[in-house]
Amino acid sequence: MKLAKLPRFNLAEFPTPIHFLERLTKSCQGPDIYMKRDDLTSLGMGGNKTRKLEFLVGQALSQGADTLVTAGGIQSNHCRLTAAAACKVGLDCELVLNGTKPGIPNGNLLLDTIFKARVHYCQRENRDETLVQVAQDLAASGKKPFVIPIGGSNGIGSVGYVNAMVELKAQLSAMALKPVAIVVASSSGGTQAGLALGAKLMGFTGEILGISIDQTKIGEDSFLPVLAEIAKETATRIGSDMMLKETDFSLNCDYLGAGYAKPGDLEFNAIERLAQTEGILLGPVYTARAMGGLLDLVQKKVYTKGQSILFWHTGGTPELFAWADRF
């Protein structure tokens, strides 16, 4: 692998810690539950996108870019961290957010404002078109935009999670810990694709289980080909001949609820349970849905006593403030 030779800009301190969730484990009466704390990355209130952005920003700088351009929902964690990264490296940032501009920004949108990102609001169906138009307008005005896909999920960004598995292997070895599964929220796919590829390369034999936040794995809308394609791009970028197939990915789509960014009882119960047993906060869109799914799987005895599970906390806690009325 040529990980060390790829363009990269350091945005946080690694490794992030692994914590044993003792009180949650006792309350579940099931497997030992550990948590990989990527919510504790130091940039812009933390989150998994920092790992991807280290390589994306590195590539942008290597190409002489002066503006980062990306898109997401109005409470996008990825957009918030892209705006923070732009501040840290001295670049401009333009965000395309699907939604209506509120009277008073809160949650991630408030942080986007503090980071001085320029926000373009649009309808969801027009988001991709608007992203292209914003980049074209910037180029026409003499700027040098670097467009980052939704979630930073491409062969560049996903390298960050291959690198994370290198980091994890050393931690698990030091702890003599052998989890039967790593459970992680999966949406745009870059995190899960990177973890799955990294697991194969590092010899990790446990399951990499993505709890889907908004994607499906059956029919014409199946997300498995997307995961395989991202992993292929990533492998090529790091100089590996490891090619993953659709069957190499484990994606649970049983917890989609009312849809993306529409948390319900599953998510809010998980938020309160983690907060009140461990003092750890989850984000209602991603990590709460994934944790809610894990807790349900434990209750159904898919994972049982005597086993160890690693939950990968991907961040997103600033989202909580956008759902203050639910609490």
Residues annotated catalytic, as ranges: 76
Q: Tell me the C-alpha to C-alpha distance, in Å, between residue 241 and each of 188, 197, 234.
A: 23, 11, 10
> How far is 231 from 242, CA to CA, in rounded Å?
9
Conformation bin of residue 188: beta by default, left when phi > 0, alpha when psi is -120 to 50: alpha
**Cβ(65)–Cβ(146) under 8 Å?**
yes
DSSP 237-254: HTT------GGG-EEE-T
Side chain identity at residue 167, one-letter code: E
Count CB-CB contacts under 10 A for residue 29. 10
- Phi/psi for 258 (5° steps) reads -80, -5
> How far is 257 from 214, CA to CA, in rounded Å?
9
Count CB-CB contacts under 10 A for residue 133. 14
| Burial class of residue 203, CB neighbours in 10 A (0-12, 13-18, 19+) | exposed
Q: Of the candidates 146, 152, 158, which has an alpha carbon nearest to the alpha carbon of residue 62?
A: 146
Rounded (10°) angle between helices 190-202 and 224-237:
60
Spatial neighbors of 86 by CB under 8 A, at least 6 apart, are: 67, 68, 92, 93, 115, 117
- Phi/psi for 153 (5° steps) reads -95, 85
Helix (H), strand (E) at residue 22: helix 22-28
* Tally of residues, the chain: 327
